[in-house]
Structure 1
Amino acid sequence: MSDAQRTTAEPEKREEFSGQLGFILSAVGSAVGLGNIWRFPGVAYENGGGAFIVPYLIALLTAGIPILFLDYAVGHRFRGSAPLALRRVKRWLEGLGWFQVAICFVIAVYYAVIIAWALSFFVYSFDLRWGDDTVGFFTGDYLQLADVGGADPWFTLDFVPAVLIPLALVWAATIAVLAAGVAKGLEKINLVFMPLLLLAFGTLVVRALFLPGAADGLNALFTPDWAVMADPNVWIAAYSQTFFTLSVGFGIMITYASYRARRANLTSPGLVVAFSNSAFEVFAGIGVFAGLGFLAHQEGVGVADLEGITGPTLAFMTFPALVSEMPAGPVFGALFFGSLVMAGFMSLLSIVQVVSASFQEKFGWSRRQASLRVGVVSAVLSVLAFSTTTGLVALDTVDQWANNIGIVVSAIAMCVLLGWVLRRTEEMRFHLNAVSTIGVGRWWAFCVVVLGPVVLAAMLVSRIVSLVQDGYEGYAGWYLVVMGWGTVVLLFVAALVLTRMRWRVEPDVYDAWPTFGGKS
Structure 2
Amino acid sequence: MVVSNIESEKESFKSPKSLRDDPNSPIPIPALSPNICQKSIKKTPPKIRENLREKDGFRNSWEFILTAMGLSVGFANIWRFPQKALENGGSAFLIVYIICAIFFGLPTIYLEFFIGQYHQISSPIIFQRICPVLEGIGWMSSILSIFSSIYYLVIISWILIFMINLFRGDWKIWNKCDNLWNDPESCWRNTLCANNSLEPEFEFEYEHSNGSCEFSTDFKEISPSEQYFSNRILRISQGILDFETVNWPIFISMIICWILVGLMIFRGMKMIGKISYVTVILPYFLIIILFILGLTLDGASDGLSHFFLHPKFSQIFSFEIWSEALKQLCISFSIGHGSIISLSSYNYSNKQQKSPNCFIISIIILSANISLSILSGATVFSNLGFLAKQRKSSIFEIVENRKSLIFVAYLEVFGELDVPWIWVFILFLMMFLMGLSAEIALLETFCSNIYDKFPKMRRKKYIVVPIYIFLLSILGLIFSTSSGFYWFEIIDEYSSSIAIFSILSQTLVLMYIYGSKHIRQDIIDLLGVSSHFQLFFGANSPFWRFNWMFISPIIGIIGLLINICQNGFSIFGWILVILPISIVPIFAIINFIRFKKVSKSALQLQKDHPSYDRIKGKLISKKVAEKSLPEASPKIIKAPEVLQKSRRKSEKKMHEFG
Q: How many angstroms apart in 2 are the aligned matches of 1:107 and 1:365?
A: 24
After the TM superposition, which residues 471-486 of structure 1 pair with which residues of structure 2 at under 5 Å, given as runs?
471=569, 480-481=570-571, 483-486=572-575
In the alignment, structure 1 residue 130 sits paired with structure 2 residue 174: yes
Partner of 2:343: 256
The amino acid across from 1:371 in the alignment is: V
In the alignment, structure 1 residue 425 sits paired with structure 2 residue 547: no
Q: Deviations over 1:365-394 (max 9, x none)?
A: 134433222112112221x21111111111
Q: Go from structure 1 to structure 2 and tell me whether the alpha carbon gap of 1:139 and 1:240 turns closer, same or farther (over 3 Å shift).
A: closer
Q: CA deviation at 1:237?
A: 3.6
Are the equivalent residues in 2 in contact too, given 1:70–1:428 (CA < 8 A)?
A: no
The amino acid across from 1:245 in the alignment is: S
Q: CA deviation at 1:50?
A: 3.6
Q: How many angstroms apart in 2 are the aligned matches of 1:461 and 1:32?
A: 27
Q: Give the one of 455, 458, 472 matched to 1:378.
A: 472
Are the equivalent residues in 1 in contact too, given 2:339–2:441 (CA < 8 A)?
A: yes
Q: Give the one of 175, 182, 186 matched to 2:262.
A: 175
Q: How many angstroms apart in 2 are the aligned matches of 1:87 and 1:431?
A: 17
Q: CA deviation at 1:162?
A: 1.1
In the alignment, structure 1 residue 227 sits paired with structure 2 residue 318: no
Q: Go from structure 1 to structure 2 and tell me whether the alpha carbon gap of 1:208 and 1:78 turns closer, same or farther (over 3 Å shift).
A: same
Q: Go from structure 1 to structure 2 and tell me whether the alpha carbon gap of 1:456 and 1:208 turns closer, same or farther (over 3 Å shift).
A: same
Q: Deviations over 1:444-491 (max 9, x none)?
A: 0111121111111111111111222xx5xxxxxxxx30x211112221
The amino acid across from 2:153 in the alignment is: A
Are the equivalent residues in 2 in contact too, given 1:108–1:351 (CA < 8 A)?
A: yes
| 3-state SS of 1:259 partner | coil
Are the equivalent residues in 2 in contact too, given 1:20–1:269 (CA < 8 A)?
A: no
Q: Go from structure 1 to structure 2 and tell me whether the alpha carbon gap of 1:104 and 1:46 turns closer, same or farther (over 3 Å shift).
A: same
Partner of 1:143: 234
Q: CA deviation at 1:51?
A: 4.9
Q: Give the one of 446, 452, 458 matched to 1:361.
A: 452
After the TM superposition, which residues 446-457 of structure 1 pair with which residues of structure 2 at under 5 Å, given as runs?
446-457=546-557
Q: Give the one of 47, 54, 78 matched to 1:37.
A: 78
Partner of 1:467: 567
Q: Deviations over 1:343-367 (max 9, x none)?
A: 1111111111111111122233134
The amino acid across from 2:511 in the alignment is: G
Partner of 1:390: 483
Q: Deviations over 1:96-144 (max 9, x none)?
A: 0011111111222232111100111123335315343223322222222
After the TM superposition, which residues 100-499 of structure 1 pair with which residues of structure 2 at under 5 Å, given as runs?
100-126=141-167, 127=169, 128=171, 129-132=173-176, 133-148=224-239, 154-183=241-270, 185-225=271-311, 227-228=313-314, 229-262=316-349, 264=355, 265-308=357-400, 310=402, 312-363=403-454, 364-366=456-458, 367-382=461-476, 384-403=477-496, 405-420=497-512, 422-436=513-527, 438-468=538-568, 471=569, 480-481=570-571, 483-494=572-583
Q: Deviations over 1:155-193 (max 9, x none)?
A: 41432121112211111111111111112x211111111
Q: How many angstroms apart in 1 are the aligned matches of 2:318 and 2:581?
A: 34
The amino acid across from 1:337 in the alignment is: F
Q: How many angstroms apart in 2 are the aligned matches of 1:190 and 1:425?
A: 35
Q: Go from structure 1 to structure 2 and tell me whether the alpha carbon gap of 1:188 and 1:496 turns closer, same or farther (over 3 Å shift).
A: farther
Q: Which region of structure 1 is more displaced relative to structure 2, 55-64 or 405-414?
A: 55-64
Q: Go from structure 1 to structure 2 and tell me whether the alpha carbon gap of 1:495 and 1:115 turns closer, same or farther (over 3 Å shift).
A: farther
Q: CA deviation at 1:411?
A: 1.0
Partner of 1:512: 610
Q: Which region of structure 1 is more displaced relative to structure 2, 211-220 or 121-130?
A: 121-130
Q: Deviations over 1:29-84 (max 9, x none)?
A: 00124320132234334545445444333322211111111111221222211111
The amino acid across from 2:474 in the alignment is: V
Q: Go from structure 1 to structure 2 and tell me whether the alpha carbon gap of 1:240 and 1:393 turns closer, same or farther (over 3 Å shift).
A: closer
Partner of 1:475: none
Q: Go from structure 1 to structure 2 and tell me whether the alpha carbon gap of 1:440 and 1:461 turns closer, same or farther (over 3 Å shift).
A: same
Are the equivalent residues in 1 in contact too, given 2:303–2:382 (CA < 8 A)?
A: yes
Q: How many angstroms apart in 1 are the aligned matches of 2:307 and 2:520?
A: 38
In the alignment, structure 1 residue 60 sits paired with structure 2 residue 104: no
Over the residues paired in the alignment, what is the CA RMSD in angstroms? 2.8
The amino acid across from 1:272 in the alignment is: I
Q: Which region of structure 1 is more displaced relative to structure 2, 434-443 or 345-354?
A: 434-443
Q: CA deviation at 1:493?
A: 4.1
Q: Go from structure 1 to structure 2 and tell me whether the alpha carbon gap of 1:368 and 1:308 turns closer, same or farther (over 3 Å shift).
A: farther
Q: CA deviation at 1:258?
A: 0.6
| 3-state SS of 2:415 partner | helix
Q: How many angstroms apart in 2 are the aligned matches of 1:446 and 1:460?
A: 21
Q: How many angstroms apart in 2 are the aligned matches of 1:138 and 1:36?
A: 20
Q: How many angstroms apart in 2 are the aligned matches of 1:389 and 1:234?
A: 31
Q: Go from structure 1 to structure 2 and tell me whether the alpha carbon gap of 1:134 and 1:204 turns closer, same or farther (over 3 Å shift).
A: same
Q: How many angstroms apart in 2 are the aligned matches of 1:355 and 1:157?
A: 31
Identity of aligned residues (%): 23
Are the equivalent residues in 2 in contact too, given 1:247–1:253 (CA < 8 A)?
A: yes
| 3-state SS of 1:130 partner | coil
Q: Which region of structure 1 is more displaced relative to structure 2, 164-173 or 132-141?
A: 132-141
Aligned residue-pair number:
489
Which structure features the higher share of helix residues? 1
Q: CA deviation at 1:509?
A: 7.5
Q: Go from structure 1 to structure 2 and tell me whether the alpha carbon gap of 1:213 and 1:396 turns closer, same or farther (over 3 Å shift).
A: same
Q: CA deviation at 1:89?
A: 2.3
Q: How many angstroms apart in 2 are the aligned matches of 1:376 and 1:252?
A: 21
| 3-state SS of 1:365 partner | helix
The amino acid across from 2:578 in the alignment is: V
| 3-state SS of 1:354 partner | helix
Q: How many angstroms apart in 1 are the aligned matches of 2:491 and 2:311?
A: 33
Q: How many angstroms apart in 2 are the aligned matches of 1:20 and 1:63?
A: 26
Q: Go from structure 1 to structure 2 and tell me whether the alpha carbon gap of 1:391 and 1:270 turns closer, same or farther (over 3 Å shift).
A: same
Q: How many angstroms apart in 1 are the aligned matches of 2:491 and 2:88?
A: 25
Q: Go from structure 1 to structure 2 and tell me whether the alpha carbon gap of 1:191 and 1:508 turns closer, same or farther (over 3 Å shift).
A: farther
Q: CA deviation at 1:406?
A: 1.0
Q: Which region of structure 1 is more displaced relative to structure 2, 108-117 or 133-142?
A: 133-142
Who wins on radius of gyration, i.e. which is larger?
Answer: 2
Q: Which region of structure 1 is more displaced relative to structure 2, 405-414 or 299-308?
A: 299-308
In the alignment, structure 1 residue 96 sits paired with structure 2 residue 194: no
Q: TM-score, normalised by structure 2?
A: 0.69
Q: Deviations over 1:306-354 (max 9, x none)?
A: 22584x2212444333332333321221112222211111111111111
Q: Which runs of 5+ in 2 are unaligned?
A: 1-46, 177-223, 529-537, 596-604, 623-658
Q: Which runs of 5+ in 1 are unaligned?
A: 1-7, 472-479
Q: Which region of structure 1 is more displaced relative to structure 2, 72-81 or 428-437?
A: 428-437
Q: CA deviation at 1:13?
A: 2.1
Q: Go from structure 1 to structure 2 and tell me whether the alpha carbon gap of 1:394 and 1:266 turns closer, same or farther (over 3 Å shift).
A: same
The amino acid across from 1:212 in the alignment is: D
